[in-house]
Amino acid sequence: MLQPFFEWMQGLSLSNWILTATWASPILQCIHLLALVVFSGAVLIVDIRLLGRGLIKTPLAQIARAAQPWLFWSFIVLLLTGLPQMASTALKQYYSPHFWWKMQTMGVALIFTFTIRRKVALTADDRLGKYLPKIIGLISIGLWTSIAVWARLIGLLS
């Protein structure tokens, strides 16, 4: 159903430029990876705290608030560098099962992160139960780790 859209993306002059310009792809990939590192840090510093480890002397909500701008802006950079890369290899992505797994997991992870996880992370520690934050932290780590795995496998196995 989406094949014409992917064919259109592949045919864009931007896609062609990324494929032919010597440094375009490596530069996009390097910035994407740097943004991924910042994003991972912003996710993990909160998730580890949700597990009841890490920065336990600091209130959870305070850590979550401090990490939020880094989480948001690094995700924007991930999008800005990821979309042109995806467009330049659109048909390869379309036929890769890992790409679809990544996108499906990403949809779930984004909704989860900006709804349930955000609500729990911004709740005062004494109002959180013993197990809920741990479950939320584990789900978050699982979702984002699997996205990184699928993303890496698109390039390696497709």
Partner 1 sequence: MRSLFAWADTLESSIWLRESLNAYPILLTAHVVSMCLFAGLIAFWDLRLVGYAINKVSVTEIPKRVFPWALTGFAVSMITGSLLLYSKPLTYYANFYFWLKMGMLVLAGVNMMYFHFSTYRAVSAWENDQKPPPAARYAGVASLLLWAGIVVTGRMMAYGGLVPGWWKALNLDGP
Closest to 37 measured CA to CA, from 9, 74, 67, 88: 74
Q: Is 53 helix (H, G, I), strand (E, B) or coil?
A: coil
For residue 58, the one-letter residue type is T
Instruction: Report the alpha-carbon distance of residue 32 to residue 84 in Å, rounded.
Output: 11
Nearer to partner 1, 25 or 123 (CB): 25
Under the criterion CB under 8 A, does residue 44 sit at the interface with partner 1? yes
Q: How far is the CB of 70 from partner 1 (least distance, A)?
A: 6
The interface region with partner 1, picked from 8-16, 24-32, 83-91, 102-110 by CB under 8 A, is 24-32
Under the criterion CB under 8 A, does residue 153 sit at the interface with partner 1? yes
Instruction: Report the alpha-carbon distance of residue 149 to residue 143 in Å, rounded.
Output: 10
Instruction: Report the alpha-carbon distance of residue 34 to residue 158 in Å, rounded.
Output: 23
* From 9, 18, 63, 87, residue interacting with partner 1 (rule: CB under 8 A): 63
The tokens for 155 are 């390039």
The C-alpha torsion from 109 through 115 and 120 to 123, rounded to 10°, is 150
The interface region with partner 1, picked from 19-27, 77-85, 104-112, 123-131 by CB under 8 A, is 19-27
Under the criterion CB under 8 A, does residue 38 sit at the interface with partner 1? yes
Instruction: Yes or no: say if 136 and 120 are a contact pair by the CB < 8 Å rule.
Output: yes
Q: How far is the CB of 157 from partner 1 (least distance, A)?
A: 6
Residues that bind partner 1 (CB under 8 A): 22-23, 26, 29-30, 33-34, 36-45, 48, 53-58, 62-63, 66-67, 70, 145, 148-149, 152-153, 156-157
